[in-house]
Amino acid sequence: MSSLWTLEARLFLRQRLALPALLLMAILSIFSVWAGMTEMSRQRDIIARIQPQQAADVAAIAKWVSKEGDAGNAAYYTFHATWDAPSALAFAAIGQRDVAPYILRVRALGLEAQLYESENYNAELALPGRFDWAFVLTYIAPLLVIILLHDLKSGEREAGRFNLLAAMARSERGLWRRRIVLRLGALWLMLVLPFAVGAIISGAHIGGIAIFFLVSAAYLVFWTLLCLWIGSRGWSSVTNAATLAASWLVLTLILPAMAHLAINMAVPVRQGVELTLAQREKIHGGWDRPKAETMQTFFKVHPEWKDTKPVEGGFHWKWYYAFQHLGDLAAGDQAKAYRAGLERRDSLTVRTGALLPAVGVQTLLHRVAKTDMRAGLAYQDRIRIYHERLRRFYYPYLFNETPFREADFAKTPKWD
C-alpha cells in the first residue's frame, strides 16, 4: 500500500504544474506570514514607544501645572494614552487593525468626539483586504486547487490513459482517492507550515492554531469538492478550468462585493465623523447656556457635587467640564444608534459567511485572531471605562477646588 502512495507521489511531482504550484503556495504563505509578523511587530513597537513618550509629556505638563496647581489645566492639557495590543494570531488575519486605530490618546473632555475622529469600517470582512495569510488562504489557495485538480480525470481521458488506468488499478476509487489526497494534502501543508512556524514564534495558543488548521482544511476541501463536481460533468480540461475560474470569481469577489453593498443598503449607518460633529455642536452650545442651568442639569447626573461652591462670574473649569460631560450624554442616543448599526452590519456579515465560504472563512479567522469589528468595539468599551475613571478622578479637585500638584499626577488612573 505504501508503495502505491510513493509511486503516486512521484507521478504527481513529475507533472508540469505540480512543483510550481506547490512552490508558489509555499512562497506566498511564507511571505504573507513574514509581512503579517512584521506589521504586528511594528504595532507592538509603536505601543512600546508611546509609553515612555507619554510619561515624558505628563512630566513636562506636571512641572508647569504645579506652579499654580490648577486642576482644570491638568485635566485639559494631559493626554492619556490607551492602546490595543495585537493578539498572537493577529499576524495571520490582520482584519481591521490596518484601518481602525489601535492607539488613542484621550483627555477628560467629551469622549464621543475623541472616539470617532477615526472611522470604524463595516462589513470589510466581505472584501479583499491587506495581504496576509488569511488573504492567501481565501483568494489564492482556491486558484491553486483549481490548477491541480481541474484536469484530474479529463486530463487522463484526453491523453488516452483513462480506461487503461481504470483497468490496471486494484481499486479505481482508491486510485482517484490517492491522487486527490496527495494533491490536496501537499498544497495544504505548503500553506499551513509557514503559518504554524509564525504562530509558534508569536506564542499563539494551541486552540487558536487548531482552529486555523481546521478552517483552512475545510475551505480547501470545499474547493476540492467543487472541482470534482465540475470534473464529473465530462467536459474538457479547458472547459473545467474556465468554469472553475468563473466560479472562483463569483464566489470570492462578485458575490461578497454584492453582499457588502446589500448590507450597507439594508443597514444605513451615519458616519462617525457626523456623530463627532453633532457632539461638538452640543458641547459648543454649552457656552451659550446659562451657567446655573448647565450646573443644575449636571447635578441631576452627579448629585454628589450639588452642595459644592456655586459657579460665579466668568469662566470656571467645573462649569466647563460639566457641559463637556453633558455633551456626551446628549449625543448618547446617536452613539448607541451608530454602534447598533455597526453591530447589525457585522451580524449580517457573519450570516452571509454561512452562504459564501470566502466571507465565512475571513469572518471566522478575524474573530479568532481578535481583529474583527467586535474586537474594535471591545477596545472602545475599555476606553469608555477608563475615561469614566479619569473624569471621576479629576472631579474632586475641580468641584472642591483642590490644588493639583506634581505628586497628584502620579495618582492619575493608568491604562491597563
pLDDT tens string 251-261: 999 999 999 99
Handedness of CA 353, 355, 359, 365 (dihedral sign): positive
Band (pLDDT 50/70/90 cuts) for residue 287 is confident
Which has the minimum average pLDDT: 24-33, 113-122, 318-327, 392-401? 113-122
Over range 355-380, report the average pLDDT.
95
Q: Quickly count: other Cβ atoms within 10 Å of residue 342's Cβ.
A: 21
Tell me: pLDDT of 166 over 70.
Answer: no
Over range 233-251, report the average pLDDT.
94
Band (pLDDT 50/70/90 cuts) for residue 273 is low
Q: Which is nearest to 145 in space by CA: 228, 215, 256?
A: 228
- What are the phi and psi torsion angles at 401 (to 5°)? 55, 45
Residue of 128 and 328 predicted with greater confidence: 328
Q: Which is nearest to 82 in space by CA: 408, 298, 378?
A: 378
- Kindly report whether the global pTM for this prediction surpasses the value 0.75: yes
* Cell of residue 303, nine digits: 448629585
- pLDDT reported for residue 9: 73
Q: Coil, helix or strand for 338? A: helix
Q: What percent of the chain has pLDDT over 70?
A: 86
Q: Of all helices (H) and strands (E), which one includes residue 103?
A: strand 103-106
- Arithmetic mean of pLDDT over the chain: 88
Band (pLDDT 50/70/90 cuts) for residue 145 is very high
Radius of gyration for the alpha carbons in the chain, expressed in angstroms and rounded: 29
